[in-house]
Chain A
């Protein structure tokens, strides 16, 4: 994994995932470790994402590193029309590794091809956000005690939701059974279902999740956004059908956990927050350990 960029979840193998999760567990036990020893890491956020940036910067600081970068390209030379190519080439001279988020899809892949330092993709438009997937895996492993043979419910926008696509790819290495619950307009794209068929994994598709909720080990919620609907009336009709409420998970397994990449809008009712099955806030905390693990493995420090 050393000096390898992390652009898409499929850049890493199952063994890589497991190594990252193992290291993340060590960082959870002892988070402050001076492995970076003042080395400089760049966090280039061409579009603002405070939550993700703080998580990365917390990870870098806990490793004893220093951070340079920006959180909004309007205040940097990018607003003066500098190309991504130039920015990456220049910043490569100032740092050991670049964490970047960019609104354009494929930007992180491109960046990884024009520099000789590793790139970690912290989101390239609607395309990939692999560190989110790894922290989802970590959260699943931590709460279920394993990754193999789990029943994973994915709920909401399964068509455009990049987090569910990456998570599906990652969990397909662990013999998961998937339950896709979404409105017709936002169903899981064919290419992913074909992929599951090809590798022989089971999935179920439905518009409601009440009947088989008892099967769930993980319910992974996503945002259903108004702008994804071609018909606003259809949105009004469906939006409340995909709001998770306490009563809906009453019959679920005791160890079942609800995950959500956050930020949420209204897709999880606040009455779920106090339920021991709600795990979305702890999920964000796990993100710091997972990012510590990724950074230190990529830089060959552990």
Chain B
């Protein structure tokens, strides 16, 4: 029986394709991981080894000095206190920006689908439009607004900028998700006596995990990786990680410390990687299964 099925041409051709597909995937994965691998290798080599050796050789003498230097003592611009301060700047900027834009996006999506008002289409269209305004166009008006509000050059100012920019996308995500959310559930809750926020909190939010994860990942990576707004509105000691990384790489006079640069770059990229690894697992579907038929 098993011999017969092994000789079956369709089974063996199936196996052939499977091998081919996996080989291709592995080759691609290695190819895409190569830069990260080289960055990691370079960051644990001494400068001498980097100069003498090949990019892909393993270090003879492993060292964590470049990491310590990047974190604590490397010179960014004129100060030589490493990038840790800027890393925290970015955290202080990203966490409130992501939280506020996600919450506002969720409430917007909720209103635009379940508490419609005349002209709701227009409001949504304008918000969508806001997603596609190029960054450069808003730089000048935005800096004027920040100056007027007295938060120019501060983390608070950056949070405002990112929330403003982020609402368009987070509203889009939540609106489309809640559009498919059964309105009968909302109606049932209305009759049960729940009000605007209680319906949101008790009925919609518990079923929103997938879209929250999507929005958080999207906003987190965009805001963390932003360079233009950071460079424009938060120079100096309030600069976010991305700006500081640029300054670090550019401000080393004399020898270029590739290992320190690489370590700093990995630190700068780490949070977004972490978010993908941790939150990506929660992309689950079918949370709504069984609530409503048809």
A, B in one complex: no
Q: Which residues of A contact B (CB under 8 A)?
A: none
